[in-house]
Structure formats: structure tokens, C-alpha cells
Amino acid sequence: MTENTIHTVEATGNGLTDLAVVTKSAPAPPRPGEVTVDMLILTINPADLLMLEGRYGVRPPAPFVPGSEGVGRVSAVGPDVTLKPGEIVMPMPGNTWTEQITLPARHVVPLAADVDLDQAAMLKANPATALVMLQDIVPLQPGDWVVLNAANSAVGQNVVKVGGALGLRIACVVRREGAARTLRDLGAEVIIVDDGTGPAPTLPDGAGARLALDAIGGVATERLAACVADGGTVVNYGLLSGESPHLSAHDLVFRGLTLRGFWLASWFATAGAARIKQVYGQLVTWLDEGKIGARVDARYPIVDAVDAVAHAAREGRDGKVLITTRFHQGRP
């Protein structure tokens, strides 16, 4: 490696192991309105794994640079930019699994100098997904019930924290007791361990949720719907089972449930600049206050990205897998 070269991950979309860490020339210096960002920590999300496998909603031409989020430090600025070198920022575009990027300054979100870098690297996708699903799908009031499965996931942990900040009552469904312990540590109000056998889960005292958040699909969607009040809404935002979500005719016709999907990328395309700014302004405030965040299970240097991806794909891991670059330099 030299000062003018960087490590970048490239993938084909043909499988989790069909990727390579390549050495490339550093990006060109920033032009007017642009900044160069030295990436510090990169995140591996379930959507990234689906992209690597060619199973995501979109498939970019190969080879492509994976990654949807991360955190970095501004290293150079072009004319007409108010940001300064040294500022910590969150890039909003994707293709983040690289050590350095140059992009328009308007496409980065400034963060506090002393921000927790691990949590900042995970800010763009999961906390925003949690907040938007809780605010923009059905009108919820403090005290309303929300139920979700895969609640020990990074999105799930943020739903617990964001829901608490909004005054909602959150019921968490997980498949194993170990995951339940994680959620108890977060202060989750109700935790239901459901291995997918036996009667479907229910909420305490016959309560019904106005909103259900399904990350699994398949029959898990229908089991989660048992916790939803008549007329409620089930939102599918993930397919951890690899199967399309199922709801019975009884739920749809006689109970009046609504099944809909959510994809953060589509929300970005339709929400408008003011709403996007509002969401991330709130998230940055909550991050500074320690109200949101998720566990980290492991960190790998970018040169070991293949091992990092294999770890992220493991069943039963307890937290997010992060990738660090040479610019991180051991910062906490």
C-alpha cells in the first residue's frame, strides 16, 4: 500500500465468498462542492449479504463495491464547502466498503467529533428504518402496542430504543432465550420466546398491537399477526427465512389486517429532503444522548472482509459485524 492507493472490496453478486479485496488508486481530489472522506468503520447489514448473494431487490452490474453505510473523517474539501478536514461524517450514498471516497458535500451528515464511531457507522440504515416504520406507516400514540420478530437484530434493538423514546409499548418476539437476555438488558417491556412450534404468541392481557414489524417472512409473518388487533397493519421489511410473507385469508378478510412492505431506499426516494433531514436530525440527537444503538459482535480489518462476511452470515451471532480501515487507527 502507498499513500495514493486504497483497499476496496469488490463483489459479483454470485455468493458470499465471491468477493475480493483489491488495491486501487485513491479517488481524485475533490472538485467544487465535494469532499474526500477517509472511511473509518463500515457496517455489514443483512441487505448487504442478500446483495452479495444476488438475492436483493436490485442487482448492480459486476463487479460492484458493496456496503450501504459507514462513518468517516473528512480529509480534503473542494471550493465552496463549509465542512473542514477532520470532521466526522456519515456518507449517505452506498458503495461504502472502501477506504476512501469523494462525493458531494451535501451527501454527508456531520457528526460530533467525539461520537461513538461504532454506533455512528450503524446510524444510516437500522435506526432510520426503526424510526420511519414507527412514525410514517400508521399513526401511533404513546401507549400503543407494537410487536416485532427477530427483535434481537440491529433493527429490532433500535425499535426497542426508539419506541421507548416515543412512549410506545414494544413486544419482542425471538426464537431463543439467549436473544431474550440481550433484549432484557435493553429494557424491553415484553419478550416472547417463540421457536415457531405450538400456539402462536399473544400479548399480555389480550392486548392487540396496532403495528407488527416482520423481518422473517414465511409462516413467521402469520404467527406474528396473531398479536395484532383487528384492523392493524403488518409490515414486512426483511426475508430472513428466504420466503415470502404469509397471511391467512382469515386475517386479511375477516380481521381486516393490512400487509405491506417497507424498504428504506424507497422511502428515501419519496420522503422529501425536509423529512429526511428531520429523521436524521432526530437520530443524531438521540445518538449523542445515548438513546439509540446496537451491539457489536466483532470487528475485522478490511483486508479480512471475506472472514467478516462469513461471520455476519452466522446464525446466532450477538450483534453487528463491522469492518475497520487503516484510517481508523484504533479510535474507540
Contact 117, 70 (CB under 8 A): no
Residue identified by cell 475497520 is 324
Nearest residue to 6 (alpha-carbon basis) of 36, 49, 33: 36
Q: Is 138 exposed, middle or buried (0-12, 13-18, 19+ CB in 10 A)?
A: middle
Distance of alpha carbon 49 from alpha carbon 51, whole angstroms: 5
Distance of alpha carbon 301 from alpha carbon 227, whole angstroms: 42
Is 300 annotated in the active site?
Answer: no
Distance of alpha carbon 283 from alpha carbon 256, whole angstroms: 33
Radius of gyration (C-alpha) of the chain in whole angstroms: 20
Cis peptide before 63, with omega less than 30 degrees from 0?
yes
Distance of alpha carbon 55 from alpha carbon 13, whole angstroms: 8
Residue identified by cell 416485532 is 148
Q: Work out the angle at residue 54's Cα, subtended by the Cα atoms of residues 215 and 21, and round it to the nearest 5 degrees.
A: 110
Candidate list 56, 237, 280, 300, residue with the active-site label: 56
Q: Which three cell numbers stand for residue 42?
A: 463500515
Q: How far is CA 220 from CA 182, 244, 281, 330, in A?
A: 21, 10, 34, 41
Distance of alpha carbon 247 from alpha carbon 258, whole angstroms: 9
Question: What is the distance, to the nearest Å, from the Cα of residue 87 to the centroid of all Cα atoms in its chain?
Answer: 23
DSSP 8-state class, residue 98? B
Nearest residue to 100 (alpha-carbon basis) of 24, 43, 47, 48: 24
What residues are annotated to the active site? 56
